[in-house]
Amino acid sequence: MLFFCGDTKIAILHSYELLFPEYTRSMALSGVKLIIGCGTKAPTSSEGMKIICKARCIENQIFLAGVWIEEDTDMYGTGIFSPSGTEISEKISSWLYGASIDTESLSIMNKRQFLPSRRPDLYHPVTEFRP
């Protein structure tokens, strides 16, 4: 699902889709600045999901917020990550996490210029956003 929040393009992906770089790359090529990854059972451990989230952020210079149920424990795992792969989650209460996200920093970094030249046969921009 793709939508706007103000001027910011946001995408929602299932945590399983984060395993495959094509989904995230397609979103980044479409101008998405924040991906929300959610799902029931994580396809890997919580630490594995954090590594995957960090990789998708670094590869595509995006922010990513994820929540998943850990594979073996049925406990929730969460994380909010910056384009550098740094976890920026802040515990707000016993059950709530948040982060300050400055999407203007993405336009300053302007590191997406290399994306269209990377395997265009696999990575295509998404063209439909909900208003």
> What confidence score (pLDDT) does residue 82 get?
92
Note the maximum CA span of the chain.
45
- Domain residue limits, the chain: 2-117
2-117 belongs to CATH 3.40.50.970: no
- Dist CA 33 CA 107 (whole Å): 10
pLDDT at 127: 54
CA–CA distance from 67 to each of 31, 108, 110, 126, 128 (Å)?
Answer: 22, 28, 27, 23, 25
Q: What is the pLDDT along the chain (131 residues), one digit of tens a residue?
A: 788 888 889 999 887 888 888 888 888 888 899 999 887 676 677 788 889 999 999 888 899 998 888 767 777 888 899 998 999 988 787 777 788 877 776 654 555 455 555 665 666 656 555 55
DSSP state of 35: E
Cα dihedral across residues 50, 61, 100, 12: positive or negative: negative
Structure pTM? Answer: 0.78
Torsion of CA 43, 88, 110, 57, to 10 degrees: -10
